[in-house]
Amino acid sequence: MSNTYRGLNRAVLILIGAFLLALGVIVGLTASWPLAAQRWAASAEQLRGTVSEQLAKTAWRLGETELSWIWLAMLAAALTAVVLLLLWIASQGGGRSPVLSKVQTPEGTVTVQEEIATTALKTALSQDPRILHTSVSAWRLGEDIGLKISLQARKGASPRQLADAVEQLVIGLDRLLGTSLPTLISINTGARTGWSHEHRVQ
């Protein structure tokens, strides 16, 4: 329920993983197989000669020095990659909304803050002994706003019963707001569940 571009993220991770895997295979082969090491050294030497030749062909004088435009192109490509990475990082997450809903009335617009739903749902769910911890947040889904409710369940609690209990609370909230909110209910278990008697204050 965020603005993160999952497809782009996965594509980037796949490319990075494939590059690292290929690099690991090359290092492993050159370290354990003498023939592979020899071929790698020969290929590297050939590549170095080709690069040097191309740099010499594309060099142009800049003051007292000669500079190849290939270096400038590589610098421009590196700067472009940095800008794209910064934009990608900035696009991660997001989508949170401090406003839960806006209702038009003859007198004007009534804005309901996300904190109202958060406090009401957390207070109601804190009374349920089957729940150790509750997190409630509002997220923007296109033109709509939805709720994400995450529960840390006590060991042995029925996820179906917990989901039904939360659903009833959300229905009551919908009636109070006069609108139906898209809701994601996440029920988690883990180490904290097993140690609940050490952390929960009755």
User: Cα separation of 163 and 188, whole Å?
Assistant: 12
Task: Judge if 86 and 125 occupy the same domain.
Answer: no
Amino acid in position 99? V
In a domain, 21, yes or no: yes
Kindly state the percentage of the chain with pLDDT values over 70: 84
List the CATH number of the domain containing 125. Answer: 3.30.70.1350
Q: Helix (H, G, I), strand (E, B), or coil: what is residue 202?
A: coil
Band (pLDDT 50/70/90 cuts) for residue 144 is confident
What average pLDDT score do residues 92-110 get? Answer: 72
In a domain, 168, yes or no: yes
User: Cα separation of 5 and 125, whole Å?
Assistant: 32
pLDDT tens-digit profile of 81-94? 999 888 877 766 55
Beta-carbon contacts of 112 under 8 Å, excluding residues fewer than 6 positions away, are 99, 100, 101, 102, 103, 177
Q: Residue 74: how many CB atoms within 10 A of its CB?
A: 11
Task: Judge if 80 and 114 occupy the same domain.
Answer: no
Quick check: 153 and 125 in contact, CB under 8 A?
no
Quick check: 32 and 21 in contact, CB under 8 A?
no
Task: Judge if 103 and 195 occupy the same domain.
Answer: yes
Task: Judge if 131 and 192 occupy the same domain.
Answer: yes
Quote the tokens at residue 57: 């062909």
Domain count, the chain: 2
What average pLDDT score do residues 121-143 get? Answer: 86
Quick check: 138 and 147 in contact, CB under 8 A?
yes
What average pLDDT score do residues 8-25 get? Answer: 87
What average pLDDT score do residues 173-196 get? Answer: 73
Nearest residue to 133 (alpha-carbon basis) of 179, 200, 82, 181: 200
Beta-carbon contacts of 184 under 8 Å, excluding residues fewer than 6 positions away, are 1, 146, 147, 148, 149
Q: Helix (H, G, I), strand (E, B), or coil: what is residue 68?
A: strand
Tell me: pLDDT of 31 over 90.
no
pTM, to two decimals: 0.51
Integer CA distances (angstroms), 156 to 128, 133, 162, in order: 14, 15, 11
pLDDT tens-digit profile of 35-72? 888 888 888 888 888 878 877 777 766 556 667 777 78
Beta-carbon contacts of 26 under 8 Å, excluding residues fewer than 6 positions away, are 40
Task: Judge if 127 and 71 occupy the same domain.
Answer: no
Task: Judge if 32 and 106 occupy the same domain.
Answer: no
Band (pLDDT 50/70/90 cuts) for residue 18 is very high
Supply the range of the domain harboring residue 41: 6-90
Quick check: 179 and 102 in contact, CB under 8 A?
no
* Mean pLDDT over the full length of the chain: 79
37, 40, 42, 48 alpha-carbon torsion, rounded to 10°: -140
Task: Judge if 107 and 175 occupy the same domain.
Answer: yes
Question: Dihedral sign, CA of 95, 96, 102, 108?
Answer: negative
What average pLDDT score do residues 155-168 get? Answer: 89
Task: Judge if 86 and 113 occupy the same domain.
Answer: no
Band (pLDDT 50/70/90 cuts) for residue 202 is very low
What average pLDDT score do residues 158-186 get? Answer: 87
Amino acid in position 114? E
In a domain, 1, yes or no: no
